[in-house]
Amino acid sequence: WTFYLLLPIFPLLLSLLGAPETRLTTLSNGLRIASEETNQATCTVGLWIGCGSRYESEKNNGAGFFLEHMAFKGTKKHPQSALEQAVESMGAHLSAYTSREHTAYYMKTLAKDLPKAVELLAEVVMSSSLSEADIEQQRSVVLRELEEVQGSLQDVCLDLLHATAFQGTPLGHSVLGPSANARTLTRNDLVEYINSHYKAPRMVLATAGGVNHDDLVALAKQQFSGVSFEYEGDAVPVPSLCRFTGSEIRMRDDEMPLAHIAIAVEGAGVASPDIVPLMVANSIIGSYDITFGGGKHLSSRLARLAAELNLCHSFQAFHSSYSDTGLLGIYFVTDKHKIEDMMHWAQNAWMNLCTTVTESDVARAKNALKASLVGQLNGTTPVCDDIGRHILNYGRRIPLAEWDARIEAVTPRIVRDVCSKYIYDKCPAVSAVGELVYFLYLICIFYVYYFVLE
């Protein structure tokens, strides 16, 4: 009978176990090369660096984001027009992103053009021209992007959440930085940032697709052997401890039609053993949008309530994990008259995780989580990103089969114990943007709810 019960999931198990191996090599200067080889005609190659806004100060906050823009404005060998022509002639796509702890520069191209792609990436990252004229031109571009981000109320709300939850610490910094810094950052600030953080031991050259690992290692030796691994005066930047502060921040605007609210407690770091149970817990809460079908038949209890009681326009559970801490929370968008009800049921969903979560809840959440992890790796670019971040976070690529085993090991008892550890009787951080006429009163309710339960 056990065989017949497991038979439906055998194809998934076989596909997970048959996933290509991620090979890892370290150069003498500490730079790591990781690749997942498939038989595709395309590949994605990129450089992942262990630095971001968490490594910035109040003075240079936004330097990493500014450098991201400068990367494509020409190198010492290729002016901007030549760089763009080289990328376009390959039919490639060159891009970058900056987060609170990671910076990435990557290119999607034909597998046969890998040598040229690696050469261009090395130039973009290590030999950017950083001319004064380009810096002044990009200053206005960065300022426009900062204005555009203000129109994304979800981004604003979650940035405010970090600012209040990690107030007085580098994790409270915005990735984009304040507009004042965008106006005043100099070439010396950018050069100093590169010299301080772009070191070989903090870099991962990651590749996914139709590549050969040994060929990639040879290319890395050719292009990156000269990257420094030494710090001036041995001043190795170490991220400071970022304490969590239960607090609240509001940006009230009664002209806005809706309220955007995020509630979070301190979560687990990326390497914590609690990370998988918390992922399952978030999957139990799930997400909801008013455009969803299903209504009372939705699998998430909070989603069913949101549909039946018209609690909100949308919500999503999230867990933002960093090297040593995180934010475990719920973000929702609702009408001002529904804030009280949505706050109540969001808290209730958290308390249920600590007390009454069932076998069926966990089984459904585990299936959804497994499907999500597999679905996120659709293409060489997300796979390459997964490799780069894993090497920086864990020192190795965690295969899907291992994630599957960890998720399968989670039981309702584990979910209840871990959620009690992080949620029960903990002061939350709350951020809100929009029409918040009744917000102050409801925050008082939120705190009382926690402490009365104790």
280 and 219, same structural domain? Answer: no
What pLDDT score does 6 carry? 42
| Residue among 36, 37, 68, 266 flagged as catalytic | 68
Q: Is 389 helix (H, G, I), strand (E, B) or coil?
A: helix
Query: For 396-431, what is each residue's pLDDT tens digit?
Result: 999 999 999 999 999 999 999 999 999 988 999 999
pLDDT of residue 39: 86
Confidence at residue 234, expressed as pLDDT on a 0 to 100 scale: 62
Give residue-wise pLDDT tens across range 231-265.
776 666 777 789 999 999 999 888 888 999 999 99
In a shared domain, residues 229 and 291: no
- 203 and 281 inside one domain: no
Judged against a pLDDT cut of 90, whether residue 443 lies above it is answered with no
Note whether residue 282 is domain-resident: yes
For residue 78, what pLDDT is reported? 87
CA atoms within 13 A on the CB side of 51: 27
Q: Is the CB of residue 302 less than 8 Å from the CB of residue 315?
A: yes
Q: Is residue 439 part of a domain?
A: yes
Q: What is the pLDDT of residue 355?
A: 93
CATH code of the domain covering residue 308: 3.30.830.10
**pLDDT score at 238:** 74
Backbone angles phi, psi at 123, to 5 degrees: -65, -45
413 and 310 co-located in one domain: yes
pLDDT tens for each residue of 337-384: 899 899 999 999 999 999 999 999 999 999 999 999 999 999 999 999
Would you say residue 12 lies in a domain? no
Q: What is the pLDDT of residue 16?
A: 52
Q: Are residues 312 and 380 in the same domain?
A: yes
Residue 8 lies in a domain: no
Predicted confidence (pLDDT) per residue in 85-102, tens digit: 999 999 999 999 999 999
Integer Cα distance of 218 and 209 in angstroms: 17
**Domain carrying residue 339:** 248-453
Kindly state the average pLDDT of the residues 270-286. Answer: 96
Lowest model confidence (mean pLDDT) among 185-199, 221-235, 330-344: 221-235
Which residues partner with 260 through β-bridges? Answer: 333, 433
Q: Whole-model pTM above 0.85?
A: yes
Residue 442 has pLDDT above 70, yes or no: no
Is 242 inside any structural domain? no
What confidence tier does 441 reach under pLDDT thresholds 50, 70, 90?
A: very low
305 and 218 in a common domain: no
Domains contained in the chain, number = 2
Which of 188, 210, 234 terminates a domain? The answer is 234
Say if residue 449 is in the same domain as residue 308. Answer: yes
**Over the chain, what is the mean pLDDT?**
89
pLDDT at 332 over 60: yes
For the purposes of burial, counting CB atoms within 10 Å of the CB of 267, is it exposed (0-12), middle (13-18) or buried (19 or more)?
buried
Q: What is the pLDDT of residue 121?
A: 95
**179 by DSSP, 3-state: which?**
helix
The answer to whether residue 68 is catalytic is yes
pLDDT value at 333 more than 90: yes
**Position 444 confidence tier, pLDDT thresholds 50, 70, 90:** very low
The whole-angstrom separation of Cα 232 and Cα 209 is 37
User: Whose structure tokens read 């290509």?
Assistant: 20
The enclosing H or E element of 288 equals strand 287-289
User: Does 7 fall in a domain?
Assistant: no
Residues 121-145: pLDDT tens digits? 999 999 888 899 999 999 999 999 9
Structure-model confidence comparison of residues 439 and 157, the more confident one? 157
If asked whether residues 228 and 254 sit together in one domain, one would say no
